[in-house]
Structures are given as C-alpha cells and as structure tokens.
Structure 1
Amino acid sequence: MIRIVLVDDHALVRTGFRMILERQADIEIVGEAGDGESGLAMIKKLAPDVAIVDVHMPGISGVELTDRLRRSHSTTRVVILSMIEEAPFPRRLLDAGASGYLSKSCAADELLHAVREVASGRRYLAASIAQQLALERMSATQASPFDALSARELEVALMLASGKDMGEAALALNLSGKTVATYKYRLFAKLDVKNEVGLTHLALLHGLLDAGLRGAHAELIART
C-alpha cells in the first residue's frame, strides 16, 4: 500500500487529488495539509511513502519543504505539482530533493503513474519538463543568473516575467503585496535589471518563457 500525504493550500485541489487517488486499491491518503508548515509537520509525524506538494503555499514554499525533508533525512519521497514548467524551476526542486515533478495540467493517469514510480524508488518527470532540462544541460555554457535567486525570489521573478503584476503575483503566491515588492527589488538587484521589461528580456535570453509568452513579450520589448 502506498501511503500519501497531500499538501496544497486549495481545498478543492486536494479534493480532486483525493478522488483520483483513493479509487486505487494500492493507494491510501493518510493526511492532508493546507500550508507548508503544517504539511512538513504532518509528513514528519506520519512518514508517508509519498507527499504530493504544491509549490506556491502560505508560509514555506514547496521548495523549502522539500529541502527541509531532505536535510532531515526523511524517507518520504516528494512529488511536486506546479503550474510552472520552465527550467530552472524544476531543476531547483530536483536539487532540493524532489523525486517527481508534474504540471497541474497533467492527466489523472500520469499522476497515478508518477506516484507509483516515485514510491518504487525512481524519479518521474513529465515529458515536457524532462525535455527542457535535457536541452538546458546541452546548451548551457555558463551558469544562469537566475541560479543566484532564492526559491521565493525565483517564484516572483517568473511571475513578473510572464506578465503578471505585483498584485497578481501576491495572490498567486499567497504573499502580501509588500512582501512581493521586497522580493521584486531584491531580485532586480541580484539580476542587475531596472524594471519588468529588463527582467522579461533576461528571462527570454535564458529560455524561461514558453513559446506563447516569448512572442507577446518580444513585441513589448520592441515597443519600449
């Protein structure tokens, strides 16, 4: 039996996962948490085989939760679900100790397959994410400046680079507007950019935007 803890701040999302997973004879949901801190405590207490963790949560993020589990030598294997597929974010999570990474748009069958693969001791990456990471390794001639950002700074950077304003980023990341502003100007300093246009341009250069966003932001940059 594969014992699972769900960690996601959206109750509806957890309900959907539970409905998919509990139909399986070899899977048991042993706990749920709505934020990173309580999720981390629950995982340490229950020691499930697998934790399915959202990246963007109140308090500690999925990246920090995963890293803390790794440093505590937990045997629980983490599967991350996120709306962000672009490298280097998946790579950051794998470096933190995640065993699986899926987009929230994945099919139910892929979620089940990933859980079983990870529970058996293997890693699982969605095909699109694995391809991005492979291309990144092949084309990388130097470290990305985004590697210097903390997990939260990287989350904010990707939100802003994809066209969201600070209010939208704050809502998506469950942070206050003031906190997002602090991260914004800190990451601007680290990346040596002056504004969102410069951030978007840098993200384009390092392949952090998908094809659809590339065209829209390239037009914005051209007009600026």
Structure 2
Amino acid sequence: MIKIGIVDDHAIVRSGLKAFFSTFVDFRVVGEVGTGREAIDMVRTTDMDVLVMDLSMPGQSGIDALAMVRAKAPNLSVLILSGYPEEHYAVNLIRQGASGYLNKECAPEEIADAIRTVALGRRYISASVAELLAGQLDRKASEPPHKHLSEREFQVFLKLAKGESVGSIGEALSLSVKTISTYRSRLMEKMSLSTNSDLTYYAIKTQLID
C-alpha cells in the first residue's frame, strides 16, 4: 500500500485527486492540505510514502516547502504536480530534490505511474523532462539567464520578483538580510538586470510567475 499526502490550494483539485487515487487498490490518501506550511506540518505528523504537491500556493510556495520537506523527511518522495510548464521549473526542482515533476495537463495514468515509481525511491522523469535534460548537454550557452542561477539564487529571485522584501525573504529562508542581499547582487549580475522591477518583468515575461 502506497500512502499518499496531497498538497494543493484548490479543494476541487484535492477532491479530484482523492477520487482518482481511490480507484487503485494500492493507493491510500492519508492526508490533504492547502498550503506549503501545512504540508510541512503534515509531513511531521503523518506517515506517508509520497507527497503530491502543487507549486503555486498562498504564503509559502511549493518551492520553499520542498526545501523544508527535504530537510525534515529526506527519505520522503515528493512528486510535483503543477500547472507550470516543465521547461520553466522541472529540471531546477529535480536538482533541488523533487522525485519527479508533472504538468497538470498530463494523462491521469501518468500520475499513477509516477507515484509508483517515486514510491520505490526512484526519480520519475517524463518524456518531456528527459528531453529538457538531454537538451541541456549542448544548449548551455543559449539558455535563458535564470537557468544559470544556483538553487538558492533561483529561490531568492522568485521571491524578489513577487515583490517580497529582503527582510521577509531572509526570515522565510532563515538567512540574514546581508546574505539575501549578497544573493540579490549575484543574481542581478548573472541576469544582467538592475532593479527588482526588472526581475518582476522578466519573471512574468518568461511565465515563472503569474
């Protein structure tokens, strides 16, 4: 029996996933929550094998929650199920410890296959993500600027692009204001941008944020 936790801020999505998972004799949903912060609490208190998590949520995003879940439960498999296209997030999140990444447009059967794969402690790499990984081998020079950021720089970049202050980012990531400012300077240089408004425009233009 594979014990599954669901994290999505839309109740109708959670309900649909639960109904779908109930059609499989080897799946059992053991918890569901609507925010990243609740996901971390659920991981602390609930025994599960796979966490199926959205990225876009109020408050703490799935990206932030992933880092904390990895710290709290390093052996838990985390499958990202997001509305964002694979090319924008999949490779970065798999590098950050996600067990797999699926777009919500995928076939339902692929979600079931992915859950069974990651429950075994393996990574689930869809055909489209495999193409992205293969393409990176010979496309480094032509990649968009955000692809050259480190995991932490990318995390800080997204928060700045959403209008969060250096102080609030430091608090959320348990880092000093000075450290966040250093990350900000570094990522600005790498991306050849000058202001937070530039970051926001870039993130919206490249569909990294809504």
- State how many pairs are aligned: 181
- TM-score relative to the length of structure 1: 0.69
1:46 counterpart letter in structure 2:
T
Map of 2:50 onto structure 1: 50
Segments of structure 2 that go 5 or more residues without pairing to the other structure are 170-183
Instruction: Check whether the contact 2:85–2:103 (CA below 8 A) recurs between aligned residues.
Output: yes
Q: 1:8 to 1:113 in 2, by over 3 A?
A: same
User: What is the aligned counterpart of 2:202 among 199, 204, 218?
Assistant: 199
CA contact (8 A) 1:87 1:133 kept: no
Counterpart mapping for 1:107-186 below 5 A: 107-141=107-141, 145-146=145-146, 147-148=149-150, 149-151=153-155, 153-154=157-158, 179=164
Residues 132-152 of structure 1: CA deviation (Å, up to 9, x unaligned): 121013322498631154326
What is the identity, as a one-letter code, of the residue corresponding to 2:13? V
Alignment partner of 1:90: what SS?
A: helix
Gaps of 5+ in 1: 158-169, 171-177, 210-224
Asked whether the equivalents of residues 118 and 124 of structure 1 are also in contact (C-alpha less than 8 Å), the reply is yes
Per-residue CA deviation, residues 28-75 of structure 1 (Å, 9 max, x unaligned), is 000000000011110121131000000111222212211112223432
What's the RMSD between the two structures over aligned residues?
3.1
Q: Which amino acid aligns with 1:41?
A: D
Q: Displacement of 1:192 after TM fit? A: 2.5
Separation in 2 of the partners of 1:138 and 1:92?
Answer: 17
Residue 23 of structure 1 and its aligned partner are, at CA, apart by 1.1
Percentage of matched positions with identical amino acids: 33
2:7–2:34 Cα contact (<8 Å) kept: yes
